[in-house]
Chains A and B, each alone.
Chain A
Amino acid sequence: AQSVAQPEDQVNVAEGNPLTVKCTYSVSGNPYLFWYVQYPNRGLQFLLKYITGDNLVKGSYGFEAEFNKSQTSFHLKKPSALVSDSALYFCAVRDDEAAGNKLTFGGGTRVLVKP
């Protein structure tokens, strides 16, 4: 079975400061990891993914994430947060041993960037 944990319900950060959103996962096989962002009354927007290769993945809007196999983590980071980054962030995992296209999501982390 595959699972994802986002330990923080909310992260508060001042504009211009670094932003980190934490994610840990559990899978049977090799993980495929994704980050999505959701703005109010909108669907999910894809930010970045880790499939294989470099542990540091760069994505949209200046976001990046670091894959750490030993800690089973995939934390999302942004060096300098913007007020417009305030949204709900979801980490998701797909197990390469699982059938089909099922994504398992974490509970989400609300990010609030204050001016």
Chain B
Amino acid sequence: KAGVTQTPRYLIKTRGQQVTLSCSPISGHRSVSWYQQTPGQGLQFLFEYFSETQRNKGNFPGRFSGRQFSNSRSEMNVSTLELGDSALYLCASSWPRTGLKETQYFGPGTRLLVL
């Protein structure tokens, strides 16, 4: 079974631009979560989508948004990019049950560099 895929793998943007990242979960998984990884802040939870609905949200500004499609694929968008948004963005998917006990499987990440 194919793993979680994320596109693009690398991205360079300039301040003020916006960016959209894509995540395709493991087949059959309906929960998709996004995390930001930076050297200073570590791994931080952005948001989670389940059945096209945002189920949980981390402490990030409104510039960070996401959505999930009926096929469980998810996108996250960052508007008005800032230098501090440079990070590795990780997507994770898990089985469709309550989710509490289910393992999240991570994709390879999208490395975003904001200049």
Contact = CB atoms under 8 A, between A and B. Distances in A.
B26 to A, nearest CB: 12
Contacts of A103: 33, 35, 45, 92, 104
Interface residues of B, number: 28
B14 interface: no
B91 to A, nearest CB: 8
B33 A101 contact: yes
A106 B44 CA distance: 10
Judged by DSSP, the binding face of B is strand
Interface stretch (B62-70, B76-84, B95-103): B95-103
Interface in A77-115: 90, 92, 94, 96, 99-108
A90 B44 CA distance: 12
Given A101-B55, A102-B58, A107-B42, A34 B31 contact: no
Contacts of A43: 4, 6, 90, 106-109
Interface of A: 32, 34, 36, 41-46, 49, 51, 90, 92, 94, 96, 99-108
